[in-house]
Structure 1
Amino acid sequence: MTVPTPPAPDDVSAGLPATGHVLSPDGLDLLELALTGGAPWLPPAGVPAGPVTLTDAENTPLAVTGTGTGDAAAPLPRAVRPFARAAGPHWDPRLRRAARDVRADLETGADAPAVAVVVSEPPTRSEVDALGGLVGDAGPVLLMVPSARRSPAAGHVGAPGLVRIAQDLADRLGADGGRRATVVVVPWPAEAPDGLGWPEVGARYGAARTEVLADHRSPAARRRVGRLDTLWADEVAALYPEPAAGELARAARTARRRGAVVFFTGLSGSGKSTVARALAAELDDEGLHTTLLDGDEVRHHLSKGLGFDRESRELNVERIGYVASLVSSHGGVAVAAPIAPFASGRARVRELAQQAGLFLLVHVSTPLEVCEARDRKGLYAKARRGEIPEFTGISSPYEAPTDADVVIDTSQVDVSDAVARVRAALAQRLDG
């Protein structure tokens, strides 16, 4: 079928520095925090000096260094494109607001200075009981939730859970004397660099004073939290004789749930990466050990050096399928989102995955004209000009799957609904 060529979108790469640097998830958190006014720009290690185009793992230009206004640490980069958003409460735009906007709101009509309370881990009863006294007679209260793009360590509560906890604390403060409490999500790298501290960040969000709630945990609660990891083992040792206790511990260590591979395929710009990231975040939040294998990020590491001819693309997809099947074989969930344009490559991935566990093929069927119109990287414009050979959908074919388990058109369905559809299909398979 011949698709009319839509007007080419602006080529976002035009006029940008040729030197590029792909930011890690921590680097993206630092950049977002700086660009929204929450902290000075603290360039991650490895960013070259001079004008540099900063991109995410999908090679989407986000900002340019060396051209912005001054700051205490380094010149602030100039924003080029908005950050890609995912799903979940920590991505709610009503909560993930720019520091300058939050500060402006607090400065309007506040009869007393604001205090910020950082909710960096689930509070025990002792911190919840101490919260009222901690904020004292302050004016507005900001409950600041650090949100890292990197998944939390196994067994730790991530940003979605912390947001739900903070919203409950806001309700408690509102009920207790009618304090005005607002939850704010703050981009925060999993490994914060030197020079990034909560007091300065809180001040930039408009707080006269900033407290980290976990710092006010009682000594007794701290000791009990420290024992949580060993409570089960202690009880098993007390209840069972040594041989039986050892066997129970061994069985617990080797317990393994059924794994799965959720494999997205679709054109560049179809929305598959956005839905895949949102799905992985939700599954991770529910305790399913989830690994995201996004197409562009894999190209930087697992398939570095491969070209874009058919043989190289097939090899790239097979490598993704192999790694995904390993994750599944160990009881995890692998979420992969390459273009995977050829039926033969997808069939090989299905074969590998079904040997290890469950397999779910998701076709993100967003039409070519929509993908081209929303192009964030300017790739379609380059392909139309002949600058990118063998570009899927333009000069290289895309073989639409006929065996997809779920079909989604992101021009008709939003991210949350798309994730819900995939989750329903996955749950049906896992329950079956």
Structure 2
Amino acid sequence: MTDSPARVLSDDELDVLELTLGGALPPSALVAVLRARPADGAPAGPADVGPARVVLTDAENTPLARITDPPGGTPAVEPLQPLATAIGPQWDAAVRRPARDVRAGLGAGGAAGLGLLVTEVPTREETDAAAALAAGAGPGTGPDEGARPGDLLLLVPVARRAPEPGTVGAPGLVRAAQGLAGTLAERTGARVATVAVPWSGLGDISLDDVAAAYGTARVERLATHRSPATAERVAALPGVRDEAFRALYPPASAAELTRAASGAHRRGAVVFFTGLSGSGKSTVARALAAELEDDGLGTTLLDGDEVRQHLSKGLGFDRASRETNVERIGYVAALVARHGGIAVAAPIAPFAAGRARVRALAEEAGALFVLVHVSTPLAVCEARDRKGFYARARAGEIAEFTGISSPYEEPDDADLVIDTTDVPVPEAVDRVRHHLANLLG
């Protein structure tokens, strides 16, 4: 194992590996995905997997499989350790079965008559369509097409990565499919199985082909049986609540109810302040967090000093320790934002590399990222220094103090630049709120 170079797989690539190990995809499909997605994060292009033998790991460096891709030969994948699982219905072993096991359970024929791809939460209309298809009476279904009661798979594409804000994720989609399975079994007498299919949509892989690999003789996408009228009603659902508020309450009351409920399905965000000690970043960050909370947005404030006392207790102030502190803040902020919250962080974050890592963590979590450079000049920061840190640093009593004995790398990628010398806190907060609101929509 140690004689082969390693490649850390993303969540999307882990989905492809799971399909390959389960017999839904040939190893060549995995090789094609890896070649199109260089490990160093560079844009997709004519990249190679690398040497003929590569160990594939997850983010925790657990060796999961060894892929062999000899020149002019046939790629092969050898499992090394089981892939990590999590909690939730999409991880239930009775649902998340390898393709080869699903095929083997279909009897001597090795094929189900019909596979229904459940890509969205089914409406009543789609439930009726599914029942008709399961009974062999759906549009375009005849007695020779193999769609007969007793052979039905509900295939639910599920991804490791977080879902888009406001959409039903993998657990909810699996639960909805299981409810549909019970309804279909009761209404048609069909033998219905729900199967979670790891699916990220990478490369040129077809979801229909993957569904066929699970043993379906015919694949139908259930969402295609949603009529335009139903689709229009579904699309209008987000506005139903606000219309009800306006109908039941006077304008001022409706506005407050809308404000309180507005954060329920928003995309998460990380608002990251950086600047010298005394620049005013913590003051602005605290005020911003309070305003966002009042707007009904779940907000977590990660103040640099408070983090130092808890999350980063024991770290020094050398460059490596500072980078570790910033990365820890970024990691926690990304966790908050991943679940739709707003994380407001206000460390000094003096180095560009550390700030870039925080941005990457936020973006990997599917969150918005706003970098605010509080650019208050050093002289103003020193004049505000109530704790005497600058004076002590100039006297040599504090080593590696940012702006004095340790550098501050001014960001060239800030989304907002605010100098609190002449920008009052309320105005600074309004600028950040306006920028964030435009991003959140």
TM-score by length of 2: 0.53
Change (3 A) 1:326 1:107: closer
Distance 2:122 2:172 in 1: 12
Q: How does 1:30-179 map to 2 (within 5 A)?
A: 30-40=16-26, 41-42=29-30, 43-44=33-34, 45-47=37-39, 48-49=48-49, 50-51=51-52, 52-67=54-69, 75-108=75-108, 113-135=112-134, 136=136, 137-138=147-148, 139-179=150-190
Deviations 1:345-381 (A, max 9, x none): xxxxxxxxxxxxxxxxxxxxxxxxxxxxxxxxxxxxx
One-letter code of the match for 2:2? A
Matches within 5 A, 1:288-367: 312=320, 316=324, 319-321=327-329, 323-324=331-332, 332=341
CA shift in 2, pair 1:105/1:327, >3 Å: closer
Cα separation, 2, equivalents of 1:230 and 1:153: 19
- 1:228 is matched by which residue type in structure 2? L
Which residue does the alignment assign to 1:206? Answer: 215
Q: Structure 1 residues 233 and 69 mapped into 2: Cα distance closer, same or farther (>3 Å)?
A: farther
Question: How much has 1:193 moved relative to structure 2?
Answer: 2.7
How far off its partner does 1:30 sit? 0.9
**1:226 aligns to 2:212 (yes or no):** no
Q: How far is 1:102 from its partner?
A: 0.9
Give per-residue Cα distances to partners, 1:278-299, cap 9 Å, x unaligned. Answer: xxxxxxxxxx9999xxxxxxxx
Change (3 A) 1:78 1:205: same
In the TM superposition, what is the alpha-carbon distance from 1:14 to its structure 2 partner?
Answer: 2.7
The answer to whether the 8 A contact 1:25-1:150 is kept is yes
Deviates more, 1:325-334 or 1:196-205: 325-334
The AA in structure 2 aligned to 1:161 is: G
**In the alignment, what sits opposite 2:202?**
193
1:95–1:322 CA distance, 2 compared to 1 (3 A): closer
Alignment partner of 1:27 is 2:38: no
Distance 2:132 2:161 in 1: 33
> Using the alignment, how far apart are the partners of 1:98 and 1:70 within structure 2?
29
Instruction: Give the SS at the match of 1:151.
Output: coil
Q: Quick check: 100-109 or 177-186, which moved more? A: 100-109
Q: Whose relative contact order is higher, 1 or 2, with alpha carbons under 8 Å and at least 6 apart?
A: 1
Q: Over residues 171-226 of structure 1, what are the superposed CA-to-partner deviations in whole Å (9 max), with x where a residue is unaligned?
A: 2222123211111111111xx13422232112111100011111111221111001
For residue 212 of structure 1, what is the amino acid of its counterpart?
R
Q: Report how far residue 153 of structure 1 moved.
A: 1.6
SS in 2 for 1:120: coil
Q: 1:53 to 1:185 in 2, by over 3 A?
A: same
- Checking the alignment, whether the CA contact within 8 Å between 2:165 and 2:340 is kept in structure 1 is no
Give the Cα–Cα distance (whole angstroms) in 2 for the partners of residues 174 and 315 of structure 1: 57
Residue of structure 1 in register with 2:2 after alignment = 14
| Alpha-carbon distance in structure 2 between the residues aligned to 1:252 and 1:323 | 27
Higher Cα Rg, which structure: 2
Which sits farther off after the overlay, 236-245 or 220-229? 236-245
Gaps of 5+ in 1: 1-12, 260-287, 292-309, 335-432
Query: Per-residue deviation at 1:312?
Result: 4.8
1:65 to 1:181, Cα distance in 2 relative to 1, 3 A? same
| Identity score, percent | 45
Distance 1:131 1:107, change over 3 A: same
Deviates more, 1:124-133 or 1:151-160: 151-160
Q: Structure 1 residue 243: deviation in Å?
A: 6.7
Where does residue 436 of structure 2 map in the other structure?
none
Shift of 1:331: 8.1
Determine the C-alpha separation between the residues in 2 that align with 1:38 and 1:142: 15
CA separation of 1:81 and 1:129: change in aligned 2, threshold 3 A: same
Q: Contact 1:327 / 1:333 at 8 angstroms: preserved in 2?
A: no
Alpha-carbon shift at residue 169 of structure 1 (Å): 1.6
Between the aligned partners of 1:118 and 1:103, the Cα distance in structure 2 is 16
Q: Indicate conservation of the 8 Å contact 2:158/2:196, yes or no.
A: yes
Per the normalisation by structure 1, the TM-score is 0.54
Distance 1:154 1:238 in 2: 27
For residues 84 and 289 of structure 1, the distance between their equivalents in structure 2, rounded to whole angstroms, comes to: 30
Q: CA deviation at 1:46?
A: 1.0
Shift of 1:145: 1.2
Comparing 117-126 with 248-257, greater Cα deviation is found at 248-257
| Structure 2 Cα separation of the partners of residues 209 and 184 of structure 1 | 16
CA offsets 1:234-281 (integer angstroms, 9 cap, x no match): 444556676765565445446899x9xxxxxxxxxxxxxxxxxxxxxx
- In structure 2, which of residues 189, 192, 199 is the aligned counterpart of residue 181 of structure 1? 192
Structure 2, unmatched stretches of 5+, are 40-47, 137-146, 269-296, 301-317, 344-441
Q: CA RMSD in A?
A: 3.9
CA contact (8 A) 1:69 1:75 kept: no
Give the secondary-structure state (helix, strand or coil) at the position aligned to 1:63.
Answer: strand
Counterpart for residue 294 of structure 1 = none
